[in-house]
Structure 1
C-alpha cells in the first residue's frame, strides 16, 4: 500500500492534522475565538489583495479563451484525450462543485436579502434583485478562473515538460532546484502546505454538506437529527466514497459524475416546471444582466467606507476558499485534461461550469424566492433560526411530491459530495506518491487510507458544534478555510514564476511548437 508513498510528507501531514484536531477536542472555545480574530484580520486588511487576485485570474482566463496561448495542447500536438468530452466536463464539474453549489444555490439569496451589498435596504425589491445576481457572481467566471489558471500551469509542467510527478515542489524545479537551505525548506513547506489544505478543503465541503444530508435523512426516516444520527450519516457516506475511490478513475469518478449530471438536469427541469416558471426565467435573465453590468464593481468592491461586512463575509471568503482549494482542483484538472488544448480547458471551466452554476442558482434559488414573494413563505426570515440545513428542507417541502423531491435532492447531494471527495482523495494520493508513471494510478488501498483520514475532519466539526453552545458552524468553517488560504498564496506565486519561466523558454527555443497543432503553428512563427 505504501510502496510508492512519500512517507516523510505523510508524517508531516499527520502532525499538522493533529495540531488542528487536538485543540478542537481539548479547548474548543479557545479555538473558535482564535479563528474569529484571524479571520477578521484576513478578510478586512487583505480584502484588496484577494479582490485584485480574483480579477487577475479572470483576465488570465480571457487570455486563454481569446489568444494564441489557448492553442497549446497538454501532452503535445499528437496527444489524444483520455476521456470522452461529456465525461471529462462532468468530472471537472463535480470535482469542484460538490455540495456547496446545491446548498448555497438554494439558500444563498436569503442571506443577501437580510445582509445586503452596496448599502441597499434589507428586504427591499432591490435587495431581492441583487440577491439573485450576487450568488451567480460568487460562483461565476472569476471563481472558475482560479481553478483554470492553476490547472493549466500544473498541466503544462506535468505533461509538456514531462516532469514525472504532480508534486508542486518538483514541478517548480526550475525555480526551487538547489541545495541552499532556504530552497530545501521552501520545497518541504510547499508540499506540506498543499496536503494540509486538501484537508481544509474537504472540511469545508463535507462540513457544509453532511449536516444537510443528516437533516434530509432524518425527515425521510421520521427520526430526530441527533448527534448520533449525524455521525451515522458521515460513516455511511465514508463507506460509499471509500468504495468509489478504490476503483480506477474511469470506473469510479467517471460513472458517478455522469450519473450526477443527468440526475441534476432532470431535477432542475422538474423544479423549473413546478415553480413559477416565468418568474424563474425572467429573474435568471435579469441576474445575468446585472452580472454583466456590475462585474467590475463587484470585482473591486472592498466596502471600505460603508463597512457593512458583506464583502468580508462573502466575496473575500469565497475568493479565499477558491485560493485554498485551487491546487486541489488544479491537480485534478491537470491529471484529467491530457490531450486537451488550454482553450478547451478554459471553455470547460469558465463557460460550461459557469453555466452549470448559474442554472443551479437561477432555478433552485429563484424557486425559493418565488415561493417567498408570491406564496407566503418566509425562508429569509427563518434562515437565522433554521440555518442552511433546516431552510433547505423547508424549501423542498413546498414542492409537489415533497418526499420524493427530498429523496432525489438527498441522492443528488450525496453523489455530489462523493464525487468531490473521490476526486480529492485520488488527487491527494497521487500528490503524495513518488515514481508514478504518467498514466498510473496509486494503489487502491492507499487511496482508501486517505479516504479514512478525511472522515476525521467532519467529525471534528461536529464535535465543535456539539461542545460549543450557540456556535455558528458556517462562520467557523469560513474562518478555517480563509485562514488556510494564506500559505497557499505563497505557493501560487512560486507556480506562476515557474510556469512563466518554462513557457518563455519554450517560446524562445521554438520547443512550444511541439505543443501546437500543425495547422495553427503559423501564429507562433
Structure 2
C-alpha cells in the first residue's frame, strides 16, 4: 500500500521525465527528422490554428484589464490583513527580471532590426516607414500581451495558494472547477502538460542564451562560435547552476539577479546618453502613441487572404513561447505578489514592465536603426542573419564599446545562469506535488534534462528548430489557460464579491 502511494505521488515526475527524455533521444538520434517533423506540425498549426493563438492572447489581455479596473479590483491576493512582502520597486525589479531577462536582451535589438531589414505588409525595407513599423511590432510582442499571459497563471496560483493553502501547482488553480479532482488524474494530467510545456519553453530560452553568449565571445574575444563552443558554454553553465541549486545557494542567486538588474539599467542609461539621445526620445514618444492607438487592431490581426509566414515566425511564435514559459514566470510572480490588490497587481505586472520594455527596445533597437539610416552601418542586415549579434553590434557604435560589450556579456551570462537555476527549482516543485523543498535527485534530473533538450534543440535545428518545438508544445497549455480564466472568475465570486459590491466576510 505504501509503495502504491509513493508511486502515485511520483507519477507526474515519472511521466513528465519520460516524455522529455524521449524528445531528447529523438533529437540526439535523428535531429533532421525531429526538425522536419516539428517544423511540419508547426506549419500546419499556424495555418489551421493561428487564429486560435491570436484570439486567446486577446482574451487574456482583456480579462486582465477587467480584473484590474472592474468590480473585483480591490480584492487581495491573500487575506484582508496580508501586506506585501516586498516594497513596490523591489517587486517591480523582480517581475522584470523573471518575465523578460535574457529574452529581451536577445530580441530587444534582434527583432526591431530584423523587421527594419525585412518588414511586412509591403513596406519598403530600411525606410522610415519600416523603422516605425519595426519598433511598434517589437513593442507589441514584448508589451502588454506577454505580461497578461504571465498574470493569468500567477493569479490562478496566488488565489489557490494564499487563500486556500493548496499546493503550489498549476492544477491547484482549478480547485473551484474540479474540487478534489486536482489530486487525481485531471490534476495530474494538467501538471504533466505544464511541466512538458515549461521545460520546452525554458530550453528554448537557454538555447537562445547560448547563441548570444557565443556571439558575445566572438565580439569581445574574437572566439568564433561553433557547435563545440556552444557545447562548452552549455556545459559550464549547467555545472554552475546545478552546483547552486543542489547546494541551496538560492539567496546568492537572488542577489546576483538584483545586481544584474542594476547592470542592465546602467547599460540602458549609457546607451541612451551616449547614443542618438534626441532620436531615441522622439521615438519613445512616437512608439508609445502608435502602440496604444494600434493595439486593438494588432491584437486581432490574422491573414485570411494571404500566407501568414511572417506571423508564424514572429507573432505566433512569441505567443506560444510566452505561453510555454508562463508556468515558470507565473509561479515566481505569484510567490512575490502576496498581499497585493488586483488593481495594484495588474498595474505592476502589465503596465510598468511594458513601459520599461518600450524604453529598452527603442533605446537599443532604435539606435541600431539610426546608425543604419544616418551613418551607413549594416547592423540590420547582420542582425537579420544572426539576431544574437544585434545587441553587441549596437554597443560597438558607442565610445568605450569594449567595456560595454564585456558588461553585456556578463549581463547575459548571469541571466542565463539564474534563469536555469530558478527553472530547475520550479520544475522540481511541479513534479514533487508542490513540495517547496524537492529532493536533490529530482533537481539534478531536471537540470540535466533542461540542458540536454536545450543542446538537442540548438544543434538539431538552431533557432528555427527551437521556435517550432515551442510553438507545438504550447498548444495544449493554451486550452488549460483558457479554462483557468473560468477558475479565477469563480474564485473571485466564491471569495466574496457579488456584482459590484464587496461582501463583508470574516476572512477579508
Q: TM-score, normalised by structure 1?
A: 0.88
CA 1:247 to 1:345, structure 2 compared with 1: closer, same or farther past 3 Å?
farther
CA 1:359 to 1:195, structure 2 compared with 1: closer, same or farther past 3 Å?
same
Structure 2 residue aligned with 1:12:
15
Q: Distance in 1 between matches of 2:149 and 2:28?
A: 34
Cα offset, 1:264, TM superposition: 1.0
Matching of residue 73 in structure 1 with residue 73 in structure 2 = no
The one-character-per-residue Cα deviations of 1:440-480 (angstroms, maximum 9, x if unpaired) are: 54456654543333211222123315xxxxxxx22221111
Mean CA deviation greater in 48-57 or 499-508: 499-508
Q: Output aligned runs, 1:252-291, within 5 Å.
A: 252-291=252-291
Supply the RMSD in Å over aligned alpha carbons.
Answer: 2.6
Structure 1 residue aligned with 2:350:
350
Q: Is the 8 A contact 1:5 1:432 kept in 2?
A: no
Matching of residue 475 in structure 1 with residue 474 in structure 2 = no
Q: Output aligned runs, 1:119-518, within 5 Å.
A: 119-163=122-166, 165-177=167-179, 184-246=184-246, 251-307=251-307, 309-385=309-385, 387-434=386-433, 436=435, 441-442=437-438, 446-465=442-461, 473-507=462-496, 513=505, 516=508
Cα offset, 1:200, TM superposition: 0.5
Q: Distance in 1 between matches of 2:487 and 2:49?
A: 25
Cα offset, 1:270, TM superposition: 0.5
Structure 1 residue aligned with 2:3:
none
The one-character-per-residue Cα deviations of 1:213-240 (angstroms, maximum 9, x if unpaired) are: 0221244333332322211211222233
The one-character-per-residue Cα deviations of 1:329-366 (angstroms, maximum 9, x if unpaired) are: 21221122122222222122112211221111011111
Q: Distance in 1 between matches of 2:304 and 2:28?
A: 37
Mean CA deviation greater in 108-117 or 270-279: 108-117
Structure 2 residue aligned with 1:521:
none
Structure 2: segments with no counterpart, 5+ residues: 1-5
Q: Distance in 2 between matches of 1:346 and 1:508?
A: 18
Structure 2 residue aligned with 1:55:
58
Q: Is the 8 A contact 2:238 2:447 kept in 1?
A: yes
Q: TM-score, normalised by structure 2?
A: 0.91
CA 1:250 to 1:311, structure 2 compared with 1: closer, same or farther past 3 Å?
same
Structure 1: segments with no counterpart, 5+ residues: 466-472, 517-525
Q: Distance in 1 between matches of 2:251 and 2:69?
A: 35
Q: Is the 8 A contact 1:303 1:309 kept in 2?
A: no
The alignment partner of 1:75 has SS state of: coil
The alignment partner of 1:121 has SS state of: coil
Matching of residue 102 in structure 1 with residue 105 in structure 2 = yes
CA 1:451 to 1:27, structure 2 compared with 1: closer, same or farther past 3 Å?
closer
CA 1:4 to 1:102, structure 2 compared with 1: closer, same or farther past 3 Å?
farther
The alignment partner of 1:122 has SS state of: coil
Cα offset, 1:434, TM superposition: 3.4
Aligned residues: 500
Question: Of residues 82, 86, 97 in structure 2, which corresponds to 1:83?
Answer: 86
The alignment partner of 1:69 has SS state of: coil
Q: Is the 8 A contact 1:238 1:452 kept in 2?
A: yes
Mean CA deviation greater in 154-163 or 214-223: 214-223
The alignment partner of 1:455 has SS state of: helix
